[in-house]
Structure 1
Amino acid sequence: MSYEINVIIDDNANKAVTETLLKNQFANTSLVAELDDGYLLSGICVSDDKKTFKAVDLPDPEQEVTNHISTVKMYEVNGATIFVESGENDALGIWPAGASMYDYFTAWDFGDTDPATGLAEFGLDPNLDDAKAGDTNVRIWQTLSYCADMINAPHDDFVRDAEGDIMVFTTYAEAERWIADDKKGAYYLQHGEMDPADHKIVR
């Protein structure tokens, strides 16, 4: 028995490199590809026992991130950047050499989750633009400080209301007042928390 895994090929990927990868064994899988009117169509078939395919030793990933539901590993192989996703979805992403995790996640559909929150769940900095005095409809991003080895530690995120919705402040000054009020009084660290959260106002 076998099952198919989704394959994502970036439009800017080197088609010759991609075709070579797909025609050869990769990551203990059998890769199948065909060209149709110049467009590369592809799929992956993986046997249940994985004994029918030749194993390929991969180097350690250049980077590995997880949100404890899905894991994405990034490799630089034969002139291309390969992303192997496992967990909630199984996928192989083939991108041009030098692509980053940020490039890979641009193809993600985070659904109802804000993309910045989605990136933070994987431990990636969402690189939000700082707001400036005079900006309107701003948000507050809070950076948390928990023990590195803590399991299921909360991740960085926007400040949210009691219903879990992202709080949007009409003015920059209003956001400043919220931060000032939040810092009043004693602060009690949560289990595994090293320091109080840092806040910054973002667009």
Structure 2
Amino acid sequence: MKYSETKLAFSEFLNMLAQHTELDKDDECHLHANLQSASDESLNSGVEGYPSFYYFSDVGGKKYVLEENEDNGGSVVYEVPQVDEENEYPCEIILRDTVGMWDGDAYENLALYDISVKPTESDESDTDVKIWIEFYYSPTTLNAPLDRYARNNDVNTEDSSFEAYEAHEFDTYADAKAWIDKQESGRYYLSHGETDRPKYTITN
């Protein structure tokens, strides 16, 4: 898929949408819902502070993806001249390409959009490694945990510091493997909606 960032302002693009779709741009209270309804594809995290993506396949004969940020001043409009309609999802492709420039870890940010991308597994000789945790829950489970790195308070349950929720860095692969072995030992009780025990991957 090919795309390029335009110089269209958010308000300018809304005016274009209003001319070529059924979008009610003046209904600010329901703008998110109206954009989703008018779009051919949308992608959002449902988390405050993270952008939503909307794909429009025909706006005056052109295709666009809107990356809408809450302050609107940071919103970006991409023109998408070429799309394989059957195999490509423009919102997801642009999200994957740009998420590395956001604050925070790219893999954890993708998980917010229910896009699971497992980090590359480390070699046994690697140092300063992390552990990626994949959770398995029924799709209908409310508030199911998102895939993420093992945090400082996972490793040290008494850690209540400001850094408690940051990804824990193990000195060596062996240290990380020992922590995983401890988690996987003994009987495991599934939580409500959980279909299997978590999977752990050592990564750097």
| TM-score grouping bracket, smaller chain normalisation | 0.5 to 0.7
What's the offset of the Cα at 1:79? 4.4
Give SS of 1:12's match.
strand
Quick check: 1:134 aligned with 2:125? yes
What's the offset of the Cα at 1:198? 0.8
User: Does the aligned pair in 1 maintain the 2:62–2:79 contact within 8 Å?
Assistant: no
Count of residues paired in the alignment: 168
Matches of 1:149 and 1:140, distance apart in 2: 26
- The gaps in structure 1 that reach 5 residues or longer are 1-9, 31-45
Q: Which amino acid aligns with 1:47?
A: D
User: Does the aligned pair in 2 maintain the 1:65–1:123 contact within 8 Å?
Assistant: no
> How is 1:48-87 mapped onto 2 (pairs within 5 angstroms)?
48=27, 58=38, 60-61=40-41, 63-69=42-48, 71-77=52-58, 78-83=61-66, 85=68
Residues 199 and 58 (structure 1), Cα distance of their counterparts in 2 relative to 1, 3 Å cut? same
What stretches of structure 1 move > 6 A for 4+ residues in a row? 20-23
Matches of 1:60 and 1:22, distance apart in 2: 15
Matches of 2:147 and 2:110, distance apart in 1: 9
Give SS of 2:132's match.
strand
> How is 1:3-14 mapped onto 2 (pairs within 5 angstroms)?
12-13=4-5
Q: Which amino acid aligns with 2:78?
A: I
Match of 2:108 among 100, 106, 117: 117
- The gaps in structure 2 that reach 5 residues or longer are 84-89, 154-163
TM-score normalised by length of structure 1: 0.64
Larger proportion of strand:
1
Give SS of 1:47's match.
coil
Quick check: 1:175 aligned with 2:179? no
Give SS of 1:93's match.
strand
Q: Which amino acid aligns with 1:179?
A: I
CA RMSD, 1 decimal: 3.7
Matches of 1:89 and 1:178, distance apart in 2: 42
Give SS of 1:181's match.
helix
Match of 2:78 among 84, 89, 94: 94
Counterpart position of 2:149: 158
Q: Which amino acid aligns with 2:139?
A: A
TM-score normalised by length of structure 2: 0.64
What's the offset of the Cα at 1:131? 1.3
Matches of 2:192 and 2:21, distance apart in 1: 39
User: Does the aligned pair in 1 maintain the 2:40–2:54 contact within 8 Å?
Assistant: no
User: Does the aligned pair in 2 maintain the 1:120–1:155 contact within 8 Å?
Assistant: yes
